[in-house]
Amino acid sequence: MCHPVHKQNQDINTLSYKSMDVLRPYSFLGSDNIMYMLKAEASFDSAHFLSGYDGKCRNIHGHRWRIEAVIKSSALIENGQQRGMVTDFSILKKDLKEAADNFDHALIYERGSLKENTLSCLRDENFRLIETTFRPTAENLAKYFYGILKNKGYSVDSVTVYETPNNCAVYMEDKA
């Protein structure tokens, strides 16, 4: 367990941690496996359907999608304004929100899953349409958002996409 220890000749408000106490619970992992993890969330409302699916989800329906992104680092930034951080939460939250907002209040559909005349009618009505190259499942959206954050330079551990409050898909890359 990690115990704060008062250093001699220091103000009572200045605490430090015994390095051995911090590492002891994880010593079986080896020091290379110790990670800092940050989690940020964003959400969006949109509709989708699953073309070729034999069930209710073949129909257009909506969700309040929630994205949880976990960023990892084995070390903290040592200098500058972000000293002691993995990254600035405000930047991570902004990047994740920007990615989520791109899907907000739209119909997400897979390329080739709607007839051209259907698309034309939806466009004529000024509906917001987002065409993807993948079937818009929670699994594929988790992988998509993982890729966006990775391309922005984050060391992404995992991305979870909730389709409902109780059902989610998680994407992480194989560590092997």
Q: List the domain range (segments joined by +) for residue 96.
A: 35-171
User: In this predicted structure, what is the pLDDT of residue 84?
Assistant: 86
Q: Decide if 46 contacts 105 (C-beta within 8 A).
A: yes
**161 plus 144 within the same structural domain:** yes
The catalytically annotated residue of 6, 61, 98, 105 is 105
The catalytically annotated residue of 41, 57, 139, 168 is 57
Cα–Cα–Cα angle for 173, 175, 176, nearest 5°?
A: 120
Cα–Cα–Cα angle for 28, 40, 167, nearest 5°?
A: 90
The answer to whether position 57 is within a domain reads yes
**45 plus 22 within the same structural domain:** no
Query: Dihedral of CA 59/60/65/69: which sign?
Result: positive
**14 plus 79 within the same structural domain:** no
Strands 107-110 and 36-48, bridge-based pairing: parallel
User: In this predicted structure, what is the pLDDT of residue 32?
Assistant: 58
**122 plus 89 within the same structural domain:** yes
**93 plus 159 within the same structural domain:** yes
CATH code of residue 142? 3.30.479.10
Asked about 63 being catalytic, the answer comes back as: no
The answer to whether position 176 is within a domain reads no
The answer to whether position 111 is within a domain reads yes
Cα–Cα–Cα angle for 121, 124, 130, nearest 5°?
A: 80
Tens of pLDDT along 84-107? 888 889 999 999 999 999 999 999
Strands 156-164 and 61-73, bridge-based pairing: antiparallel
Looking at the structure of the chain, the number of domains it has is: 2
What pTM did the predictor assign? 0.80
The catalytically annotated residue of 48, 63, 110, 163 is 163
Alpha-helical regions (H) of the chain? 19-23, 89-101, 116-124, 138-151
**97 plus 129 within the same structural domain:** yes
**125 plus 52 within the same structural domain:** yes
**92 plus 133 within the same structural domain:** yes
Asked about 168 being catalytic, the answer comes back as: no
The answer to whether position 55 is within a domain reads yes
Asked about 105 being catalytic, the answer comes back as: yes
b/e map 56-69, b = 16+ CB within 10 Å: eeeeeeebebbbbb
**126 plus 43 within the same structural domain:** yes
DSSP codes of every residue in 66-77: EEEEEEEESS--
User: In this predicted structure, what is the pLDDT of residue 27?
Assistant: 39
- Residues of the chain where predicted confidence (pLDDT) is lower than 70: 1-33, 176
